[in-house]
Structure 1
Amino acid sequence: MRTSHLTPRLRRPVPYPAVRVIVALALASGLLLTLVAMDWHPLITLDGDIARATHRRAVDEPGLTHVFRILTDWVWDPLTMRLLVAAVTVWLVWRHSAWPLALWLVVACALGTVLQQGLKAAVGRARPVWPDPVDSAHYAAFPSGHAMTATVVCGLLLWLLRRYGAGRVLWCTTVTVAVVSVVGVGLTRIWLGVHWPSDVLGGWLLGALVVALTVVSYARFERRPERH
């Protein structure tokens, strides 16, 4: 079996603050979902004001808009993110024989996708419609699939790097790339006029919730008593 300079750290108990984070994310996600589903007027108005302002900029700056389309359609596309997860899963199995952890990673991403698509179908929120669109997208608007997928994937990869004791340079670089990717993909979706701002916020919150649940559930799995 091959070895790697990254080695898993010792098992730790589930910290109580992690449970509070899950509760906070669940409440925030549920509140936003409720407000979107009931078409709460202040939220809809704010969404519309931001969307109209950014769309005007997108139309007036075609060069920047083209760059954002490349980033959102290729670099930060959900398919790209899922391929990254597949590569990391292979690495976990090949270099560390970490079958349970690899399975946890795949299941977490799959459940995130199911949750995302289920909410899209349940809420059925229409996307912005423009007389002069700069991009197009399919399916319902809430939550943003790009924002949620990027949050789930980047969050889980950061968790794995922390588990395997990544060095300072690698850790700082990865955190920077992850933050830029998660924030960037959300902003590009608004700029391109295919999502309302609250769609992106919902994607971020739900993605963070999936990551938190994954981390805590795996910690509990590791702490389970072994049967002899």
Structure 2
Amino acid sequence: MSIGRRALVLELLRKLPARSVGNLQKTIAIARSRFARRPANYSRMPWLTLVVAYLLLTAASMVFLDGIAVSWRDRWPNGLVAVANGFTSFGLGGWYLIPPLVLFVPANLLDWQALSRRWRMVAYNWTCFAFFVLSAAGLSGLTVTVLKHVFGRSRPVLDMGLFSFRPFEFDPYFASFPSGHATNMGMLAAVVILLSPAWGKYVVLPITVWVAATRIAVGAHYPSDTIAGFGLGMACTVVTALVFARLGFIFRQTAAGLPIRKKTFRLSAAWRKPAGSTPTPVLAAANP
């Protein structure tokens, strides 16, 4: 490397810390400004009905399904248990916390002003997406961790009974309810459903339900633990999306129902040929 090129690289590296701090300060300023300017007109959701249905389903599962799952614990087919063991690790939180954190590093070091409008929009959308996943995973993960210690339910492997609870035990063997893996799967399902309803409902939802159910087959949780966790993950993600919609990140606000993805949210740049002209690179609008 020539001396001039080396000096240029060193100069760029010297500017990175200041650029990182500056980008972070600008991001915080934008969020604070939008919170201040935009009223808290969150979309109306039938939260009470959903929470009551969620609690009733969890309670019914605890009464009618948990005992059946325990009686079947030693009778699951070996092949099913082996497959479940292979899939269950996809419910670990690291899969959904580490990638967005890693993505923030280059995003926070970008010289945004040097980017073209098209690529600045792509970088902006990727940053918003990473922040959304990180926020949803962080909120659901924190909530389920607190609830695990509050309830202190014993895991099936201890054979202490279906209703053995030791609140604030702070022991992993008494952290069965709700399931953390299932919470992560509920979060993932909700993220994809909000961003791409067709893929979310018909592809990702069945897969995430299966991964959550593997916690039963491997003997780590009762069915009620997984149902409670899955619903919790979905709820935390919807709450996160409502806040993002208020800020105008990724989603737009609606009077009622789930937030809707903005047409400008696109994770890739596309080439579009305007009528009667040569191909010009532009940021394609996303499907609603």
What TM-score does the superposition give when structure 2 sets the normalisation length?
Answer: 0.53
Counterparts of 1:219 and 1:122, CA distance in 2: 31
Pick one of 178, 183, 192 that aligns with 2:204. 178
- Any conservation in 2 of the 1:151–1:204 contact (CA below 8 Å)? yes
Aligned partner of 1:72 in structure 2 is: 88
Which position in structure 2 is the counterpart of 1:127?
A: 155
In 2: Cα distance, 1:102 partner to 1:197 partner? 31
Match of 1:8 in 2: none
Deviation, structure 1 residue 51: 1.5
Alignment equivalent of 2:195, drawn from 126, 135, 160: 160
CA contact (8 A) 1:26 1:209 kept: no
Change beyond 3 A, Cα 1:14–1:129: same
Aligned-residue Cα RMSD (Å) equals 3.4
Superposed displacement of residue 194, structure 1: 1.2
From 178, 194, 208, give the equivalent of 1:143.
Answer: 178
| SS of 1:65 mapped into structure 2 | helix
Question: Pick from 123, 130, 133: which aligns with 1:96?
Answer: 123
Gaps of 5+ in 1: 1-12, 36-41, 132-136, 163-170
Letter matched to residue 113 of structure 1: G
1:54 is aligned to: 72
Offset at 1:120?
Answer: 0.2
Question: Do structure 1's residue 23 and structure 2's residue 48 form an aligned pair?
Answer: yes
Query: 2:64 is aligned with what amino acid?
Result: L
Q: CA deviation at 1:113?
A: 0.7
Cα distance in 1 between the residues matched to 2:107 and 2:50: 28
Give 1:213 deviation, angstroms.
Answer: 1.0
1:206 deviates by 0.9
**1:57-114 alpha-carbon deviations (Å, 9 max, x no partner):** 32xx2222111101102x3433224345557878998833134554343222211111
In structure 1, C-alpha distance between the alignment counterparts of 2:104 and 2:206, rounded to whole Å: 23
State the structure with more CA Rg: 2
Listed as ranges, the matches of 1:206-225 within 5 Å are 206-222=232-248
> Matched residues in 2 for 1:43 and 1:103: separation?
34
Supply the AA of the counterpart residue of 1:82.
Answer: L
Could you say if the C-alpha distance between residues 31 and 101 of structure 1 is closer, same or farther in structure 2, counting changes exceeding 3 Å? same
* Cα contact 1:89–1:105 (8 A) shared by 2: no
Unaligned segments of structure 2, at least 5 residues = 1-40, 109-119, 160-171, 254-288
Question: CA deviation digits over 1:127-155, x for unaligned, max 9?
Answer: 10268xxxxx7550010111111111231
Taking every aligned residue pair, what percent have the same amino acid on both sides? Answer: 26
Contact 2:148 2:177 in 1 (8 A): yes
State the AA in 2 paired with 1:208. M
* Amino acid of the structure 1 residue aligned with 2:181: H
Q: Which amino acid aligns with 2:86?
A: I
| Residue 197 of structure 1: how far off its partner (Å) | 1.0
* Higher relative contact order (CA closer than 8 Å, sequence separation 6+): 1
**How does the TM-score come out when normalised to structure 1?**
0.65
Higher helix share: 1
User: Is the Cα contact below 8 Å between 1:128 and 1:196 reproduced in 2?
Assistant: yes
**Distance verdict in 2 for CA 1:54–1:177, change over 3 Å:** farther
* Number of residue pairs matched by the alignment: 185
| Equivalent AA in structure 1 for residue 73 of structure 2 | H
